[in-house]
Structure 1
Amino acid sequence: MNVRYFAAARAAAGLEEERFDLPAGSTVADLLDAILAVERATPPAGTPPLPRILARSSFLRNEVAVRDHSTALEADDVVDVLPPFAGG
């Protein structure tokens, strides 16, 4: 599945998107574990670490909000990581 990071999540992850190949039946929680298992550079000054951002983020699966981390994912899904942000 493809993960796209936005705003502070992009800064903390160090990239805009990345691909994860997880076994069939994997869930959003499994994907989050896989994201956190990646070794990453220290985020820029003023950017919280990725684990903290993920804990507060909203997620979209194929452009539909996902609130239940036990939701199963498919190999071709796109998961967006949307941290809280202000403005508008």
Structure 2
Amino acid sequence: MPSSVTVRYFAGARAAAGVDTETRTAGTLEELVGQLVESHGEKLERVLTACSFLVDGTQTRNRTLVLEPGAVVDVLPPFAGG
């Protein structure tokens, strides 16, 4: 069942999405990513291919992950430097 989740964008993902944060309703990370691409377009889609995701503070690349109600999903592009 879809849940309300908060999406927070960082660095290049923020620039591509054009927003810092938004609320979405999605059942899985894959469903959420599909919504984000549909809403924000090709520029964000390209960035998302290199991004990792933190779901409630835990890093994942598992797109089948079920999102719990109230989850916070951080979209993190690779960072340059060290």
Report how many aligned residue pairs link the two structures: 78
Which residue is 2:50 aligned to?
Answer: 56
Which residue is 2:11 aligned to?
Answer: 7
Tell me the SS of whatever aligns to 2:49: helix
Which segments of 5 or more consecutive residues in structure 1 lack a partner in the other structure?
41-47
Tell me the SS of whatever aligns to 2:25: coil
Matches within 5 A, 1:9-48: 9-22=13-26, 26-39=27-40
CA distance in 2, matches of 1:86, 1:39: 24
Name the amino acid aligned to 2:28. Answer: T
TM-score (normalised: structure 1): 0.82
Tell me the SS of whatever aligns to 1:59: strand
Larger radius of gyration: 1
Alignment deviations for residues 36-59 of structure 1 (CA, whole Å, 9 cap, x no partner): 11146xxxxxxx811010011000
TM-score (normalised: structure 2): 0.87
Which segments of 5 or more consecutive residues in structure 2 lack a partner in the other structure?
none
Runs of 4+ in 1 over 2 A off after TM superposition: none
Alignment deviations for residues 52-88 of structure 1 (CA, whole Å, 9 cap, x no partner): 1001100000010112110100120000000012023
**TM-align CA RMSD:** 1.5
Q: Percent identity?
A: 44
Which residue is 2:66 aligned to?
Answer: 72
